[in-house]
Amino acid sequence: MTNEEYDQLQKAFQFEFPDPLKEEFAKWWIKKSFKKSELITEGGQVERYFYFVLEGVQALYLISDKGERVILGFSFTGNFSGVFDSFLKQKPAAFFLEAMSPSSMLCLPLRAYQSMFEKYPEFDRWGRIFFQNILIGRVSREVELLTFSAEERYTSFMRRCPEELLKIPQKYLAAYLNMTPETFSRLRATVKY
């Protein structure tokens, strides 16, 4: 891991690592690259890593009974990623994680992840906050999907959406927002956010 990659990672964790944690933390991460459309985690496989995205966009999705992709979320540069339930439980994943663009990621194996929680209170505190934020984000998304109109979902998403996400095909953004690609395209042409 380069110094720049380490700095990106530490910034994402939002706390200053004490020296013993800093050394151990840096040694565990493995850098991997994925091509556009490459599966990072395939449904039915056990997630082996907790990821930090150095560059790129990934989509987390499942396949419906009709064979359609149901987009559950995206990760992108500067975010954490992975199929968390499969990683933590070491059970086969119900979801797929796919690179929507060429992606470079740092990967932390489960053994190292668990060791950090056991040894360092800072990491344990970060973990609680991280998963609280995921839960709050999921609840907010459910509220939007169940109570917002298509235009309100579009506007809300676009206000918080990074430029990087707008480079992926809009059919995936439309699926994430639970609307047709045609509706997404119409809103994109007519609604200012």
* CA–CA gap between residue 177 and residue 14 (Å, rounded): 29
List, in sequence order, every residue forming a beta bridge with 33; answer none if it has no partner. 104
pLDDT at 58: 96
| CATH code for the domain defined by 3-136 | 2.60.120.10
Distance CA 112, CA 24 (A): 9
Nearest CA among 181, 127, 120 for reference residue 154: 181
**pLDDT, averaged across the chain:** 90
Nearest to 60, CA basis, from 93, 96, 10: 96
Q: Which residue, among 87, 115, 125, has the nearest Cα to 25 in the 3D structure?
A: 115
Cβ atoms of 137 and 84 closer than 8 Å? no
pLDDT score recorded for residue 8: 87
CB 74 within 8 A of CB 37: no
> Could you read off the pLDDT of 18-31 as tens digits, one per residue?
777 777 788 889 99
- pLDDT over 80 at 53, yes or no: yes
Section 96-103 average pLDDT? 96
Q: What is the pLDDT of residue 126?
A: 83
Alpha helical stretches, state H, the chain: 3-13, 19-28, 84-89, 110-119, 121-147, 150-160, 170-176, 181-190
pLDDT, tens only, 64-96: 999 888 999 999 999 999 999 999 999 999 999
Residue ranges per structural domain of the chain: 3-136, 148-193
What is the rounded end-to-end Cα distance, in angstroms, of the chain? Answer: 39
pLDDT in tens, 35-49: 999 999 999 999 999
For residue range 116-157, list pLDDT tens digits in order: 888 888 788 888 888 898 889 889 989 998 999 999 999 999
Place of tokens 């995936």: 172
pLDDT at 81: 95
Give dist(CA 183, CA 187) in Å, integer. 6
Average pLDDT over residues 160-175: 88
174 burial level (CB within 10 Å; 0-12, 13-18, 19+): buried
Residue 39, both tokens: 């599966």
